[in-house]
Amino acid sequence: MTEKLTPARVRFAPSPTGHLHLGGLRTALFDWMYAERTGGQFVLRIEDTDQKRYNPESLNSLTRGLRWLGLDWQEGPDVGGPYGPYVQSERKALYEQYAQQLVAEGKAYRCYTTEAELEELRKANKEYDRRHRWLTPEQRAALEAEGRAHVVRFAVPLEGLTTVPDAVRGSVVVDNQRIPVDPVLLKSDGMPTYHLAVVVDDHLMQITHILRGEEWLPSAPLHVLLYAAFGWEPPVFVHLPIILDPSGKGKMSKRKPVVDGREMPVFVSDFMQEGYLPEAVFNFLANTGWSFDAEREIFTRQEAIARFDVKDISAKATALDYKKLEWLNGVYIRALEPAAVKTHLLPLVA
């Protein structure tokens, strides 16, 4: 009997501040495979609230890289969809609305601390001290009369535990006192921080599964608390294992590693320019943090989709094996017809 799967809504939400990294492409690939496996939707959302670092060319690089690997999205900035807009800077009014809702319900508060005051705390190696969390109306009015700008901070519970159910790691339990002190949700310019925007967007876009790198796991308890504050059911969290550099001694960075005296690519644009076939990169990345089969190294896209399930993702960090990628690329090149080889070679020798 064929297993009946509930269609998943997943999203890839890059920040257009640089070129698409191989780690980001792996996240997008796992998102895409799960959407395809369940008959669901793969959503592309652009997280551009950091306007100072926004780079239009980066956005073009992101979309080119995804399409090169054959990862088409059903909803996104260029194709539209029922839950748009799909660019965060175009959703500013929504974030303000939900931040003010939390303030009105006493779950967040306006903080008038100046940058100079925050700098004093940093110099003294102190955290923010919640100085404006319990202001009286009169105290608040006095600060506003001074013309002080304000941010909106989340009122993190002062005690208790928060549990993050993760499809890869099981239940992750965190003492609320270890969560950063009352993080900012809405900046003084009205733009949201990542924490507010990601929770609001994932809820409003009806995302069912959040696949993201393990480095976001420390933020997950705060996100669970925000879902609870809004009274929303959180999606399924799936924190993907870290990709290590070829030595296995550290997280894969944006600096090109050297293998056997050769600088190896790390950005998707590098793989495109250096003649790697998308089929080989697909095969390679699909087996990085997930395993198709202990006996098989080579498989088709459709075979991978048919087997992929988030519950089978490994929690163990994986070193990037460039030698295996080189071997795979050779296998796929040798399988090409002569005319196809010519098509791939021409851009490289022109």
Q: Which residues are part of the catalytic machinery?
A: 254
CA terminus-to-terminus distance, the chain? 53
The dihedrals phi and psi of 318, each to the nearest 5 degrees, come to -125, 130
Say if residues 184 and 153 touch (Cβ distance below 8 Å).
yes
Give CA–CA dist 237/210, Å, rounded.
5
- The SS3 assignment for 81 reads coil
Encoded amino acid at 44, one letter: L
Say if residues 70 and 301 touch (Cβ distance below 8 Å).
yes
Distance from CA of residue 161 to its chain's centroid?
25
Distance from CA of residue 149 to its chain's centroid?
30
Distance from CA of residue 40 to its chain's centroid?
19
Single out the residue of 269, 153, 287, 172 nearest to residue 218, CA to CA.
Answer: 172
Give CA–CA dist 45/47, Å, rounded.
6
CA atoms within 13 A on the CB side of 319: 12
